[in-house]
Amino acid sequence: MSYEKEQTVAIQACLQAAKLCERVRSTIPVAIEKVDHSPVTLADFGSQALICHRIHSEFPDDPIVAEESPKVLLKPEQADNLKQIVAYVKEEHKDADEQQVIEWIGYGTGHVSQRYWTLDPIDGTKGFIRRDQYAIALALIVDGDVKVGILACPAYGDDGGLLFYAVRGKGAYSQSIKAFNTTIPTRIYTVIDNDINNFRFVESVEAAHGDQAKQTKIARIIGIQAAPIRMDSQVKYAAVACGQAAIYFRFPNPHSHGYRENIWDHAAGAIIVQEAGGKVTDMDGKALNFRDNEKMLDNRGVVVSNGSIHEKILEAVKD
């Protein structure tokens, strides 16, 4: 199956969402605290509304497993925020109303199935709020295998950001977001420099998202002496895919033993790195499980590499 239609629809949906997100970020973004005390912004909800509406319109039988739920917006104290979200969505759909926007966001409360989409409408919300890196991440999964992946990264690369996308078996590509319709896609590859002395590794800005001490230790063991590049969101996958970094480590935080990764935080980035020539596994060398649950319950941590150094990393972790 070519997945040509799926790729085209997903790209256009993410470009729409990127436009909305940057519109919100041109002001000081309003953050709402979720039940788990993590932040969510008007842009998260607006992005999810646009993408879920587009995917549901074209593929009505496909469930969408997204990060956000519209429930928080139904609270009376969120009435003004809901009106503002609708105003942003109206820039793309002038006839949208509050009931429709809530419904569109709610399309993202689907469940993992044989064929489904997974979406993080803004991956790296803290980076978005402080006007740093963030990504809009969308992936199609069939029989547990990621078939299409899109990362819109409005703050990465050239002016206006870069869009990264891949279809299984067809390579990974990047393209300007701002000039998408007038530029030619660039095929990307993970290995830019084969000299390990020049390798860099990338990790999260947030110390709580991993084990930075262990990540640095493993980097030193395999011969990387340079300081880590720290970024928010799945932009880290993009950095490996286009050769800016050779490795992305995300080891479990030693203070959060029971934590498991969410599928929407890794699916889109994983296929882009793999199609660029890299490898993605957990710390034990197992493939990431996108088949069974919205949490990757069978996986411990994540290791992303340019491919050439992957087995050396896993051996160092094992030792």
The predicted model scores a pTM of 0.95
CB 302 within 8 A of CB 248: yes
Alpha-carbon span 227 to 202, nearest angstrom? 9
- Greatest Cα pair distance, the chain, in angstroms, is 59
Cα torsion angle, 269, 273, 279, 283, sign: negative
User: How confident is the model at residue 147, as a pLDDT?
Assistant: 98
User: What are the structural domain ranges in the chain?
Assistant: 4-187, 196-318
Q: Is 98 annotated as belonging to a binding site?
A: no
Helix residue ranges, H only, 67-223: 79-90, 98-106, 125-129, 212-221
* Residues of the chain scoring pLDDT < 70: 29-30, 37
3-class SS string, 237-268: HHHHHCCCCCEEEECCCCCCCCCCCEHHHCHH
Alpha-carbon span 122 to 46, nearest angstrom? 10
Asked: is 196-318 a CATH 1.10.260.40 domain? The reply is: no
User: How confident is the model at residue 45, as a pLDDT?
Assistant: 97
Q: Is 195 annotated as belonging to a binding site?
A: no
The three-class DSSP label of residue 175 is strand
User: How confident is the model at residue 38, as a pLDDT?
Assistant: 79
Q: Is 265 annotated as belonging to a binding site?
A: yes
Residue 199: both structure tokens together: 């390798």
CB atoms within 10 A of CB 97: 12
Instruction: Give the architecture-level CATH label for domain 4-187.
Output: 2-Layer Sandwich (3.30)
Alpha-carbon span 19 to 177, nearest angstrom? 9
Cα torsion angle, 167, 236, 283, 109, sign: negative
Residue 297 identity (one-letter amino acid): L
CB atoms within 10 A of CB 37: 6
CA 130 to chain centre: 18
Q: Which residues are catalytically annotated?
A: 44, 125
